[in-house]
A and B are shown apart, each in its own frame.
Chain A
Amino acid sequence: MSTLVAPSAPVPPAPAAALERGNSLWHDAWLRLRKNRLAVFGAVTLIVVSLACFLGPFFSPYGYEDQNLDLGASAPSAQHWLGTDTLGRDLLVRLLYGGRVSLGVGLAATVVALTIGVVYGAVAGYFGGKLDAAMMRIVDIMYSLPFTIFVILLMVFFGRNIILLFVAIGAVEWLTMARIVRGQVMSVKRMEFIEAARSLGFGKRRLIFRHILPNVLGPIIVYTTLTIPGVMLLEAFLSFLGLGVQPPMSSWGVLIKDGAEKMEEFHWLLIFPGTVFSLTLFSLNFLGDGLRDALDVRSSKD
């Protein structure tokens, strides 16, 4: 990762932590984040989009499944702010409902991936040796499992279910995270400040979670911000195969796919979902970038 500076010059957070009861990392990070305009813009946009998706549909006179076949596809108008699709369904409300699914899948799967991946990678990286070898072989084996077949297997056993989508995606997304964290932990654990902490007699748990992990947050955050959009696209891909959300439910992936097929005739069906989707992804990336700068004590400038 290019965000790492030379390992010879770590700035240990430990001394400050000892004096200020250890919350200065997050406090400093918050102060630094606030100064980053793009990151603030990203955060605000995300909040607005999320609120709109979760509250918006309550204020709409239409449901995501209400059709108006006589109307058919219509351009944006006073009745339908973003127009309607070819079955006469209101695009705005479908976009908001789709956002629920997409954001939900993105968030849930990423949290799962983050939790499992970070813990797993940190443990493997820290202990090394045979435990590491065994743990990483398990990851390799899971890597080699074809994803679509894995999902189909899950469906055979548990039936068609949206929760399954979260589980399936989360269950495979943590693998890469574990690898990244393991590599970072292995490089950090040999640094002097870890030696120092160890010589103070701290336990393994404290070493891993309080001393090593904060120093590998940068790559984790960057990768997380990449995972969320990746997961959203994955959901679209699965829906296309008939394994994800089922019609008439919508998700951003589904809306964009449908829109792309009809863009020559009904361009608004692609433009609006595409814009909202891109805006969300940009915001996530800005926020992630800002978070990394704010949290990564070594790569930040102040």
Chain B
Amino acid sequence: MLNRPPFLVLAALAVLAGCKKSENTGSPAAGQTPGAQAQVLHLGNGTEPQDLDPQIVTGVPENKIVNALFEGLVAYGPNGQGTVPAAAARWTISPDGLVYTFYLQPEGRWSNGDPVTAQHFVRSYQRLLTPSLAAEYANKLFPVVGAEEFYRGQLSDFSQTGFKAIDPSTLQITLKRRTSFLLESMKHYAWFPVHIPTVEKFGGLDRKGTAWTRVGNLVGNGPFILKEWSMQQRLVADKSPTYWDRAAVKLNQIVFYPTENIETEERMFRTGQLHKTNEMPLDKTDVYRREQPESLRIDPLLGIYFYRINTTRPPLNDKRVRKALALAINREQLVEKVTRQSQIPAYSACPPMEAFTSPARLSGDLDEARRLLAEAGYPGGKGLRKIDLLYNTSQNHKKIAEAIQQMWRVNLGVEVGLMNQEWKVYLDSQDTLNYDLCRAGWIADYVDPNTFFDLWRTGDGNNDTGFANPEYDRMLEQALNAPTQADRMAIYAKMDALLMDEVPIIPIYFYTRTYAMNPKVNYPVNLVETPNWKFIYLKE
């Protein structure tokens, strides 16, 4: 940006007025949303994607795009639930539940015309587990024989692992132990294949952020292909002409807009530039409830809004301080007065789901919080250094953070500074433990409590708190080996109790996803926000 004051003044004015336009150069969306005939879906997607490599990305915005460009073995069904064939046409499971055999779609094609083969899957999994790639989601594959050993470098021959290409169209996966949620977890993009020759061509298999995901380079097997990626403006995906089930794909094009400013996003929706927003400004929810309830959607979402604590930095390495902070938040008030989107106050690390409702509860009142803080040597917050709370730039996060900041000041006398960062910088700060407290959200990768407890395993790619507890890791292992579902859930309950005692995170609320959507869009509710794009379309 230039330094000339008139220019800056103008830029500042634009920001002030909140009318920062997204520059849809040549966008058909300028003006009115096109009708159902065009089948072009415009949607707000939160932030600019970090990357499009399904083995690298970790965020929800990326998840939506990656699901359009790639396809796993199985996927969610037309109503956002259940399991339907995707890259695999059918599969068999051995009676002991250990061997999964997938028969690939005979018509399965990459976007460059190559057939999708079992070998591609095996090599993709090999790439994901390569230690030098350091993929954060490598652990998704750990139920498979040899996967963890290969990832840890204890096994160097990948053919010794449980991934086998029996023939070009048959993939066999052998598990260490019976894993009841395997198919469920396979809908996550960690299990998606990548086109190995393409990845190799642009910088190599074990490198992140290479040019293979750029327009023109990217080769995927999903129902859509990447057509345009204009940084901070939009990302366009066109219907793929090579996708095996192309007849079932109803949309011709999906346009993803990075909408970090949710106020702008809401305005874009109102002027017809978007069919669906990613979020809803907290202050607008009531307006929509009153004036156009048909456009307001509040979906259940399997996720938790929480603050990560950097447990490696004093004074937060003292669990009494952490617990005091966690206890001094009035979650009911926050949910009822500040967020107002039917969220559930969270007192545990795992949201309730059909199979499991955690009995663990963060317990203690304000007196208890003050007592803990005093015990740790900071009575009334005295002597405590100023702690920073990091959040990614968004009005909603800011508002929640301001409310909590004040609760801590009034209830504990603890001074917390607020700090916002752009998404990529924020992710980097978390990964490198360069923060004190950090706003975070975790949307389940699949519908099973394991997705929430796996996170806090020592050294997990998404742990990001420095939390390391051998007892916890042992229980996590125990749970996977549990003979029955009930036993497994009992262990999770114990793990949750341990988390609420150690408090590496401060749970705040369990998510609902509130957004505005044009009633013409058929968009099935999915508990983990993983869309199966071929079932999404514009109604006549």
Contacts and interface: CB of A to CB of B under 8 A. Distances in A.
A236 B5 contact: no
Among B2, B338, B405, B406, the one with the most A-chain Cβ atoms within 10 Å of its Cβ is B406
Contact of B15 (A65, A172, A236): A236
A176 B4 contact: yes
Contacts of A65: 406, 409
Contacts of B159: none
A234 interface: yes
Nearest to A243: B420
B261 to A, nearest CB: 9
B15 A240 contact: yes
A147 B8 contact: yes
Interface stretch (B120-128, B247-255, B279-287, B299-307): B279-287
Contacts of B420: 242
B9 A247 contact: no
A257 B13 CA distance: 9
A148 B8 CA distance: 10
A207 interface: no
B5 A248 contact: no
Interface in A64-117: 65-67, 69-70, 72-73, 86-87
B337 A72 contact: yes
B5 A242 contact: no
A236 B281 contact: no
A234 B287 CA distance: 32
- Which of B16, B401, B403, B409 counts the most A-chain CB atoms under 10 A from its CB? B16
Interface string B381-412: 00000000000010100110111011001000
Interface size on A, as a range, is 35 or more
B353 interface: no
B417 A246 contact: yes
Interface string A201-245: 000000000000000000000000011011001101100101000
A242 B11 contact: no
Contact of B18 (A70, A87, A257): A257
A233 B5 CA distance: 10
A257 B18 CA distance: 7
A210 to B, nearest CB: 29
Contacts of A262: 283
B363 to A, nearest CB: 23
A226 B6 CA distance: 10
B8 A247 contact: no
Contacts of A237: 8, 11-12, 15-16
Contacts of B3: 142-147, 172, 175
B15 A147 contact: no
A67 B402 CA distance: 9
B337 A256 contact: no
Contacts, number: 105
Contacts of B13: 233
Contacts of B337: 69-70, 72
Nearest to B11: A237
A266 B283 contact: yes
Nearest to B417: A246
Given A70-B337, A246-B417, A260 B17 contact: yes
A145 B399 CA distance: 34
Which of the listed residues A66, A67, A253 has the most CB atoms from chain B within 10 Å of its own CB? A67
Contacts of B16: 233, 236-237, 253, 256-257, 260
Contacts of B334: 69
B403 A87 contact: yes
Contact of B419 (A229, A246, A248, A266): A246
B406 A146 contact: no
Contacts of B403: 67, 69, 87
Contacts of B393: 242
Nearest to A249: B418
A160 interface: yes
B281 A247 contact: no
A261 B417 contact: no
A65 B408 CA distance: 12
A283 to B, nearest CB: 18
B263 interface: yes
Contacts of B232: none
Interface in A136-177: 142-148, 160, 172-173, 175-176
A302 interface: no
B1 interface: yes
B418 A247 contact: yes
Contacts of A236: 12, 15-16
B19 to A, nearest CB: 8
A227 B401 CA distance: 34
16 contacts: A67-B402, A69-B337, A86-B283, A147-B1, A176-B5, A233-B8, A233-B9, A233-B13, A234-B8, A234-B12, A248-B418, A257-B15, A257-B16, A261-B395, A262-B283, A266-B283
A-B complex: 9 closest residue pairs judged by Cβ atoms? A237-B12, A233-B12, A242-B420, A69-B337, A260-B18, A261-B263, A67-B406, A230-B5, A247-B418
Interface of B: 1-5, 8-9, 11-13, 15-18, 263, 281-284, 286-287, 333-334, 337-338, 393, 395, 398-399, 401-403, 405-406, 409, 417-421
Given A70-B333, A247-B418, A264-B287, 17 more contacts: A67-B406, A87-B399, A87-B402, A143-B4, A146-B1, A175-B3, A176-B4, A237-B15, A237-B16, A240-B15, A242-B419, A247-B402, A248-B405, A257-B18, A260-B17, A261-B395, A265-B283
